[in-house]
Structure 1
Amino acid sequence: MGLVLAVRGSVARPTVEAMTSLATPTETFDVVLVGAGMASDAAARGIRELDADATIAVVGREDTAPVERPALSKGLWTDPETTLEGVALGTAEATGATLLLGTSVVAVDTAARTVTTDDGRTLGYGRLLLATGGRPVHLPGVEESGRVLYYRSVRDYERLREVAGQGRHVVVVGGGYIGTEVAAALAQNDTRVTLVVSQDVLQGHVFPAALAARVDQRYVDAGVALVRGARLASADAGPDAVRVHLQDGRTIDADALVVGVGIEVETDLAQAAGITVDDGVVVDEQLRTSAADVWAAGDLAQYPDRLLGRRRVEHVDHAQSSGRQAGRNIAGAGEPYTHTPFYYSDLFELGYEAVGRLDASLDTVEDWHGDEPYAQGVVYYLDGGRVAGVLLWDVWDRTDAARDVIAHQTDVSPEALRGRITA
């Protein structure tokens, strides 16, 4: 046929001859962004910084447009002024992207430059971003239902609002990032909470022992029933209640069960397309995958961090920063991704920011400020004679200083580190 499709902005659409191994595309876009989360929103905005005209499609499994996902376990529960409308990112309005929601990409053909969706559509692309993140880890014997939630999406938030509050009882499983935030949020919203964790001390795998003990006690003081050293075996959910079975034989009756035990990164799509995968989709310093004109960003991307080496990060700062950089590079910027992301959490009135690796098995240097024990301070995590992570406990807007310590600090003695970062 010999026909070359239109060029929009700096991104060329593929030739008709290139689209041979799948059905003729129903529609072709200059850029297709797979995944409708914060990384794709940032990518669309990054594209628009350099290219006002490229056609963009965002394809996402969830049936809601991109939102500020952290609000689902934070602000929407703790700030009366925060609303779902307020945390919507307005991706389509801001970028002109076409949103294809409630739709999953089930195949990528990098030779034909097409993606196939679960509703039978075939979309052509000039350039492609994989930003699918991950699915919540599902436990055997624990089926999702109206009373059992694997918490991640807007719909999960809406459903949890329906079954929580008014003195109802919710069991939360998971002592990590999501589990602790959801448990704290529910406890502040007229809900009886039982928090089931595998650790003997809540967050004991992350924080130094004395700080973890303080966090643990804060949950107890808030009325959260902590079931420590326990694991979920199964759950029997009915229309009005759920019975939770633990591996040690105990049972807990509740109005709902929330499971937050991490995510499973969605690499199957990339792997089936012949793209290099290794604990995520492997990308170079410009977030390019092993396939031509295919990038990856957000939770999915295993990238070369300039300070910490190859890693994969499941936090919002990385989703936004890597998404924006991928978008700029899709539009032709050719820039390296040099950002080392931070992350944060809010647990009742307690809060922190952090950069790098927080692992209680590492040696630490603690630098507490003021007279109240473990109220405000900095913890340095050491690995192989260098600073691998920095915890900023109630110390705000000092993430650049933390990055500087990780990048340049050669003397890691307590004397050298204490006082290095101040509030």
Structure 2
Amino acid sequence: MKNEERNEIQNLQQVNQPYDYLIVGGGMVAAYAVQGIREYDKMGSIGVVSTDMDVPYTRPALTKKLWTDDEFTQDQVPLDTEENGVELKLETAVTEINRDQKTVRLDDGSILSYDKLLLATGSEPIEIEGPDDDRAIFFRSWEDYRKLRAYSGNNNHIIVVGGGYIGTELAAGLIQNETRVTFVYPEEVLGEKQFPEEITKEYEQPFREAGVQMMNGKRAESYRKDGDKIIVTLDDGQEIEGDALVSGLGVSPRTDLAEESGLKVDDGVIVDQYLRTSDPNIYAAGDIATYPDEILGSNRIEHVDHARNSGETVGKVMAGSDEPYTYTPYFYSVVFDISWKAIGTLDSGLETMIDEVGEGKVVYYLKDNKPAGILLWNVEADLDEVRSILDNPPSDPSQLKGAIQEKED
């Protein structure tokens, strides 16, 4: 018997269980993919392999409601994925995909086989140089929330790094929970890369009024431990001492597994309108998928609305649906009394047109005299109207005035 044949037989003997649907990643994409599968296939076997220690959960609550809504508790965070007859393998990593044999190898050496495979590996946070320590939190998971919650309150001092979604929401949430906050971000004015000047002034003001120490125009270079404290060193040499550090410096898509298995990758895993990769039996959705958006073109989005909708669609497709992914997702944030939603490109370097709507604003980001992105600033409007304008914009940008109105209660 040849060595190759012997190895193949040995591999087959190691297969623990075949799955009709195997999902790599245990985030919101996985949870909604399971729901999509079950709409078309009530009985097919589903396995979910996740490096997370928790069952799939609603990620936005970790930076929003758990800090600002006393009636929202951690009991409401799980997404009840197990109720759909799913076998969950937590704190487990897939180390290799064998596309020819349609198997994956786990970090414990065991092998699982699949009929359809979904890659939903999400993203990993960008880190600052420093030692491993529970007080240095690169925020991404429910466990990160629990760590941060343990260090917050009691007038403790938390250093928040990064002026994006995670940083702004956590800085706002922490200051509202009896915590002293120093907020380090590279922009001279918070949000200046995304928002026009008129908006950034409104955005930064409530942080200052709430007592957040704003360290604008600064970057965190590294951190170190000092007893029971964390010392953060800034790019100008200044040092800040805190009880903990929480960082939201952005994320990078976890595409290593796809690349190593030979799938087409360019920024993200390349998929078609059915969220299929270059292998017809392997799909990708959520943060890692670069997909053809009908309005925005080739796109990769790291936001929850995309996770939900791409997850549900890919689940249906894997189970037999011929429904393509035609949805253009929105993204949003809530800090203090400010709520905003957007679709498309938010780049303050573009020409902007601001329309006063009720007590809020609609901002149109213009490229070649056409809207490339639309921001709803404290405006509750029909998002399908926003998509329609992006898809079929007027020939004259002045006609955008009054095009979007606030929803009636």
TM-score (norm 1): 0.92
- Equivalence for 1:408: 392
Residue in structure 1 matching 2:95, options 103, 106, 115: 106
Which amino acid is the alignment partner of residue 79 of structure 1? D
Instruction: For 2:242 and 2:43, locate their aligned partners in 1 and report how far apart those are by CA, in whole Å.
Output: 52
Counterpart contact for 1:22–1:114, Cα < 8 Å: no
- Equivalence for 1:137: 126
Instruction: For 1:244 and 1:148, locate their aligned partners in 2 and report how far apart those are by CA, in whole Å.
Output: 10
Matches within 5 A, 1:10-409: 22=11, 24-93=14-83, 95-139=84-128, 141-238=129-226, 240-370=228-358, 375-409=359-393
- Equivalence for 1:3: none
CA distance change for structure 1 residues 288 and 117 in 2, over 3 Å: closer, same or farther? same
Which amino acid is the alignment partner of residue 25 of structure 1? V
Instruction: For 2:98 and 2:143, locate their aligned partners in 1 and report how far apart those are by CA, in whole Å.
Output: 31
Instruction: For 1:412 and 1:204, locate their aligned partners in 2 and report how far apart those are by CA, in whole Å.
Output: 27
SS in 1 for 2:388: helix
Instruction: For 1:257 and 1:267, locate their aligned partners in 2 and report how far apart those are by CA, in whole Å.
Output: 27
CA distance change for structure 1 residues 19 and 331 in 2, over 3 Å: closer, same or farther? farther
CA distance change for structure 1 residues 332 and 193 in 2, over 3 Å: closer, same or farther? same
CA displacement at 1:418 relative to structure 2: 1.3
Deviation track 1:83-107 (CA, whole Å, cap 9, x = no partner) reads: 11112100011x1111111111111
- Equivalence for 1:12: none
CA displacement at 1:353 relative to structure 2: 1.1
SS in 1 for 2:15: coil
Structure 2 gaps of 5+ residues are: none
Instruction: For 1:21 and 1:214, locate their aligned partners in 2 and report how far apart those are by CA, in whole Å.
Output: 64
Deviation track 1:4-52 (CA, whole Å, cap 9, x = no partner) reads: xxxxxxxxxxxx9997694531211111000000001000110000001
Moved more, 114-123 or 124-133: 114-123
Which amino acid is the alignment partner of residue 422 of structure 1? Q
SS in 1 for 2:332: strand
CA distance change for structure 1 residues 107 and 210 in 2, over 3 Å: closer, same or farther? same
Deviation track 1:331-354 (CA, whole Å, cap 9, x = no partner) reads: 011221000001110011111111
Instruction: For 2:172 and 2:262, locate their aligned partners in 1 and report how far apart those are by CA, in whole Å.
Output: 42
Instruction: For 2:266 and 2:222, locate their aligned partners in 1 and report how far apart those are by CA, in whole Å.
Output: 31
Count of aligned pairs between the two proteins: 401
CA distance change for structure 1 residues 392 and 260 in 2, over 3 Å: closer, same or farther? same
CA distance change for structure 1 residues 36 and 397 in 2, over 3 Å: closer, same or farther? farther
Over the residues paired in the alignment, what is the CA RMSD in angstroms?
1.7
Moved more, 303-312 or 229-238: 229-238
Deviation track 1:138-190 (CA, whole Å, cap 9, x = no partner) reads: 22x23342110000101000010100111111000000111111111101111
Instruction: For 2:109 and 2:75, locate their aligned partners in 1 and report how far apart those are by CA, in whole Å.
Output: 31
Instruction: For 1:213 and 1:325, locate their aligned partners in 2 and report how far apart those are by CA, in whole Å.
Output: 39
CA displacement at 1:127 relative to structure 2: 0.5
- Equivalence for 1:419: 402
Instruction: For 1:362 and 1:60, locate their aligned partners in 2 and report how far apart those are by CA, in whole Å.
Output: 40
SS in 2 for 1:26: strand
**Structure 1 residue runs of 4 or more that deviate by more than 3 Å after TM superposition:** 16-24
Counterpart contact for 1:144–1:150, Cα < 8 Å: no
Moved more, 296-305 or 113-122: 113-122
Instruction: For 2:47 and 2:220, locate their aligned partners in 1 and report how far apart those are by CA, in whole Å.
Output: 40
Instruction: For 1:118 and 1:148, locate their aligned partners in 2 and report how far apart those are by CA, in whole Å.
Output: 26
Counterpart contact for 2:394–2:400, Cα < 8 Å: no
Instruction: For 1:312 and 1:249, locate their aligned partners in 2 and report how far apart those are by CA, in whole Å.
Output: 36
CA displacement at 1:81 relative to structure 2: 1.0
Instruction: For 1:308 and 1:197, locate their aligned partners in 2 and report how far apart those are by CA, in whole Å.
Output: 29
Which amino acid is the alignment partner of residue 228 of structure 1? N
Counterpart contact for 1:148–1:237, Cα < 8 Å: no
% identity of equivalent residues? 43
Counterpart contact for 1:195–1:225, Cα < 8 Å: yes
Instruction: For 2:388 and 2:225, locate their aligned partners in 1 and report how far apart those are by CA, in whole Å.
Output: 50
Instruction: For 1:258 and 1:79, locate their aligned partners in 2 and report how far apart those are by CA, in whole Å.
Output: 21
Deviation track 1:341-381 (CA, whole Å, cap 9, x = no partner) reads: 011100111111111111111111100234xxxx5010011
Moved more, 70-79 or 360-369: 360-369
Counterpart contact for 2:116–2:282, Cα < 8 Å: yes
Instruction: For 1:35 and 1:388, locate their aligned partners in 2 and report how far apart those are by CA, in whole Å.
Output: 32
